Amino acid sequence: PSLQHSLSPLLLTKITSSPLLPQFTFTSVLPYLISSYFCIIPHLPSLLPPDTHTLRLQSNLLSTLETHLLHTLYNLTELDLSQNRFSSVRTLTLTQLQAPSLPSLLSLHLEENQLRALPAASFSFSGLVSLLRLHLNNNHLTSIDPRWFTALPQLQVLMLGGNPVEVLPDGGFQALGSLRSLVLGGMGIKGLPEKALEGLDSLESLSFYDNLLIRVPTQALRRLPGLKFLDLNKNHLVHLTELGLNNMEELVAIERAAMENLPELTKLEITNNPRLSYIHPEAFLHLDKLESLMLNSNALSALHQHTVLSLPSLREWYYRFCRLCIIYVQHI
């Protein structure tokens, strides 16, 4: 047999110096993986093996996409089009009228392009029936339309950070009942409507890193029954004096320095969290002005002495219905 056959299925082909795209290089390995980045290609190559499962075209000059070349890639699970020149998702429509295209696609990367808007109709991403991850971060989107996501009921990770969207609409993510992680960092968000996060019943991780929030959006957060991680770092929360983290069924622990960006806090209420069983000894670092701490009706059975001693202004703290004892040790 030939060398090519003897290496199969480990290495099938390596093609370089195409007469049409002299700087384009791709390597195919079973299952097919095709990578082409920093190659300055202006359009999609036509020689795509039908069994391709990963197609990486980041950091090129793509501004339009010949979608008919993708419609035969029924096994494609990852498509990376980041760091290109797409300005409209209409050029990225991956649908066919009669049948879903890319039925196996799990991850779509469109970050760091020049997208300014998406079509209002849900056909933007229709046909991507298996999609789990969608990266739209660091584009030029200025608003969010709930209809963008109606065709993505399986989506679990959505990256929208770095787009100048200052206001989130009510129910903007209503269709994303399976979403587990949402990143909204660096968008200039100043506040959240009460229903902005409605419908995100499975959400576990939420990031508002590097925004302009001046207070914790507690009303909106109450609609997230499964939330486990919340990032509010690099916001403008210095004037927040009271905070309540109550009735959060999935809250299990409070980690070290969890509230270090809230130095003006004077009252902290953490109550009625049936699974909260651990508070790190240094969870309340830098809360030098905290006067009142309420820990009623949690699953806490022990609390390190440093947790209390690290609060120099503390005047009162409550721990009813916790079966709580203080653990005194010399070193943390």
Does residue 224 fall inside a structural domain? no
Give the integer Cα–Cα distance in Å for 164 and 135. 15
Whichever domain contains 327, its CATH number is 3.80.10.10
Q: Whole-model pTM?
A: 0.74
Does residue 246 fall inside a structural domain? yes
Per-residue pLDDT in tens (0 to 9) along the chain, 332 residues = 332 322 222 222 222 223 333 333 444 444 466 665 555 677 777 778 888 999 998 988 888 777 777 877 889 999 999 999 988 776 554 555 556 678 899 999 999 999 988 876 555 687 788 999 999 999 999 999 888 898 899 999 999 999 999 899 999 999 999 999 999 999 999 999 999 999 999 999 999 999 999 888 888 998 998 888 888 888 887 677 888 888 887 788 898 988 887 888 999 999 999 999 999 999 999 999 999 999 999 998 888 888 988 999 999 988 887 766 655 554 44
Does residue 319 fall inside a structural domain? yes
Does residue 320 fall inside a structural domain? yes
Does residue 113 fall inside a structural domain? no
Does residue 306 fall inside a structural domain? yes
Question: How many distinct structural domains can be found in the chain?
Answer: 1
Structural domain for 275, as ranges = 238-332
Does residue 223 fall inside a structural domain? no
Does residue 278 fall inside a structural domain? yes
